[in-house]
Structure 1
Amino acid sequence: MYSIKDLERLTGIKAHTIRMWEKRYGIIEPKRTETNIRTYCDTDVKKLLNIAVLNKHGLRISKLAGLSDQELREKVVSLNVGLNTSSVQIEHLIISMIDMDEIKFESVLNRSIIKNGFEETVKTLLFPFFDRIGVLWQTGSISPAQEHFVSNLVRQKLFVATDRIVPESNVKTPTFVFFLHDHELHEIGLLFYHYIAKKWGMKTLYLGQIVPFDDLKEVHKKVKPQYLFTSFTASMDEGWIENYIKELTAEFSDATVYISGYQVKEMVDLPKNVQMVKDIEDFKEIVKEIVN
């Protein structure tokens, strides 16, 4: 079940507009809790997403209100421009996630990759898609099964794209180690940063999720990387994150530690050998400087 705020985040339609459409056109009929709070189901979300797509393409809400769910779906499918803008593509991805429709999800992604390229698709489509639903994951409004479904499809794409890159044979090439701490599972961003580093000729070692600190120390002894990269997405106590970063800097004082993620974006007083990565473009500039 979704709250009206969840619907606002998922569909991009303001809560007051949804309430107005309910009252004036009877677009959807929410259930109510004992305390009179509106709640919505998957069917309501899909209907609003389809209405949002059609409304953006000039169809009036007064006309859309009289269409059945099936008629709305057919009109979306019939739109020749229905998958040409990132906002509409994101709405299609969300519907695919709710329905767990792998074919539709893959179709939207593949069209964008063919038209815009892999890197551009990740930046302009997948990252905004995960941003849109990220808050819902943390509040439990989207089920773990739905999260795992879309995450694994995207992970597969990232692994395949990275595997296609032929690594540099130059032994002097700097080494990046990519990892997540032992309470962190969200690796989509990390995978893409790894892809960028490898694409720009860096020697990389990808450790992935849930890496114990002692294991990281062993890897550092063997590989002696010049750079470490990690991300903080899962909700953690702020004090714990600060202490973890201090441990990293103390243990790996001979390396530069790059950090990214929602949980650290507001941090300012970072240790000398720690550098914040704001976004993909920021990281690309960092890698270019290393290469040059």
Structure 2
Amino acid sequence: MSNYSIKDLEQLSGIKAHTLRIWEQRYNLLSPKRTDTNIRFYDDDDLKLILNVALLNDNGYKISKIAKMTVEEMKSEVLKLTERSFAYDDQIHSLIIAMVELDEDRFEKIISTNILKIGFELTMLNIIYPFLSKIGILWQTGSIHPGQEHFISNLVRQKLIVAIDGQLYSGGGKKFLLYLPEGELHEISLLFSCYLLKSHGHKVIYLGQNTPDTDLNNVYKVHQPDFLVTVITTSPSGEQVQPYLDSLSERFSDAVILVSGYQIVGQELTIPSNVHVMHYLKDIKEYLHSLTSVV
């Protein structure tokens, strides 16, 4: 069972904390609990309720009508809506509920339906990544438990691997070496980069998580890639990031190095000339379009 602040509910549902407090008082929608030190918090049931309320409200249901519904009536209406609505926010709300309930079947249905409707790439960019961004901040602050985060990450990872396997290399294009530094385990962004590169006809050498420097050096010498791609989310961190970038630039001076991740984006770093910061995944897509087109 996870604990959420009203700011967490605001972030996940898109409903302002001020509005949530008004609804709480006027319609008795929520029943916040209190810690031993009298701090208000909300549980998983409260989060699911507010996500359902937000989805219904966004689709034209008046709050006065929603407040009169039972939990089951709300859930039934939400399921009907999400089956016929492909608004991104609606789908993201549904994924959050599936995460809270650890409901693999529901998660699978939401993702598969969206992939069929709008394709894998748009599903990743417009639904899965905004969803992961919402829950990632909560996971880092301890508002959701690691089991929920691992549950979702592994399901997304499975989807990515299947999509990557469907991209066959037919020759040509540029050569990219993808890896995560030693100690770095957050692989989803790197996997999606792999998918984008392969879908654009480029050659990918994929080393994956926690790559020792010696292995990276050896593979680079053998394959001599045009580009290195890495994502630094947790490791290296802090004061270690700048010397790590400088070392990469020096060791692989003949390659273009594309970097992204929490420890890179928005940090005060001196970026070497052959290193390019990718602020968003869409940056990688735009960068690919700047390269020679591959048939």
Structure 1-normalised TM-score?
Answer: 0.93
What CA distance in whole angstroms lies between the structure 1 residues aligned with 2:237 and 2:203? Answer: 33
Residue 241 of structure 1: aligned partner: 241
What CA distance in whole angstroms lies between the structure 2 residues aligned with 1:234 and 1:159? Answer: 22
- 1:162-201 to 2 correspondence within 5 Å? 162-170=164-172, 173-201=173-201
Q: Is the 8 A contact 1:64 1:72 kept in 2?
A: yes
Secondary structure of residue in 2 paired with 1:178: strand
Q: For each residue in 1:56-112, what CA deviation from the matched residue of structure 2 results, as whole angstroms up to 9, or x when unmatched?
A: 111111221222211211121233765320000000000001111111111111111
Q: For each residue in 1:191-216, what CA deviation from the matched residue of structure 2 results, as whole angstroms up to 9, or x when unmatched?
A: 11111111111110111111122221
Q: For each residue in 1:227-248, what CA deviation from the matched residue of structure 2 results, as whole angstroms up to 9, or x when unmatched?
A: 1000122386431111211121
1:291 positional shift: 2.7
What CA distance in whole angstroms lies between the structure 2 residues aligned with 1:61 and 1:234? Answer: 41
Residue 217 of structure 2: aligned partner: 217
Residue 278 of structure 1: aligned partner: 279
Secondary structure of residue in 1 paired with 2:263: helix
Secondary structure of residue in 2 paired with 1:115: helix
Residue 64 of structure 2: aligned partner: 62
Instruction: Determine if the alignment matches structure 1 residue 31 to structure 2 residue 53.
Output: no
Within the candidate set 146, 153, 171, 1:144 is matched to: 146
Q: Is the 8 A contact 2:182 2:213 kept in 1?
A: yes
Q: Which amino acid aligns with 2:253?
A: S
What CA distance in whole angstroms lies between the structure 2 residues aligned with 1:255 and 1:61? Answer: 56
Larger CA deviation: 139-148 vs 267-276: 267-276
Q: For each residue in 1:29-57, what CA deviation from the matched residue of structure 2 results, as whole angstroms up to 9, or x when unmatched?
A: 01112333211111000000001111111
What CA distance in whole angstroms lies between the structure 1 residues aligned with 2:235 and 2:209? Answer: 15
Q: Which amino acid aligns with 2:258?
A: Y
1:280 positional shift: 3.1
What CA distance in whole angstroms lies between the structure 1 residues aligned with 2:205 and 2:89? Answer: 34
What CA distance in whole angstroms lies between the structure 2 residues aligned with 1:265 and 1:12? Answer: 24
Q: How many residues are paired up?
A: 290
Q: Which amino acid aligns with 2:50?
A: L
Q: Which amino acid aligns with 1:276?
A: V
Q: Is the 8 A contact 2:181 2:235 kept in 1?
A: no
1:23 positional shift: 1.3
Q: Which amino acid aligns with 1:232?
A: I
Q: Is the 8 A contact 1:76 1:82 kept in 2?
A: no
Residue 125 of structure 1: aligned partner: 127
RMSD: 1.7
What CA distance in whole angstroms lies between the structure 1 residues aligned with 2:80 and 2:174? Answer: 51
Secondary structure of residue in 2 paired with 1:2: coil
What CA distance in whole angstroms lies between the structure 2 residues aligned with 1:19 and 1:125? Answer: 28
Q: Which amino acid aligns with 1:282?
A: D
Larger CA deviation: 186-195 vs 259-268: 259-268
What CA distance in whole angstroms lies between the structure 2 residues aligned with 1:58 and 1:35? Answer: 39
What CA distance in whole angstroms lies between the structure 1 residues aligned with 2:19 and 2:202? Answer: 49
Residue 253 of structure 1: aligned partner: 253
Structure 2-normalised TM-score?
Answer: 0.93
Larger CA deviation: 233-242 vs 42-51: 233-242
What CA distance in whole angstroms lies between the structure 2 residues aligned with 1:249 and 1:103? Answer: 45
What CA distance in whole angstroms lies between the structure 1 residues aligned with 2:165 and 2:192? Answer: 12
Larger CA deviation: 237-246 vs 190-199: 237-246
What CA distance in whole angstroms lies between the structure 1 residues aligned with 2:127 and 2:161? Answer: 18
- 1:81-160 to 2 correspondence within 5 Å? 83-160=85-162
What CA distance in whole angstroms lies between the structure 2 residues aligned with 1:72 and 1:80? Answer: 12
Structure 1: gaps spanning 5 or more residues: none
Query: In percent, how many aligned pairs have the same letter?
Result: 45
Instruction: Determine if the alignment matches structure 1 residue 76 to structure 2 residue 52.
Output: no
1:279 positional shift: 2.5
Residue 291 of structure 2: aligned partner: 290
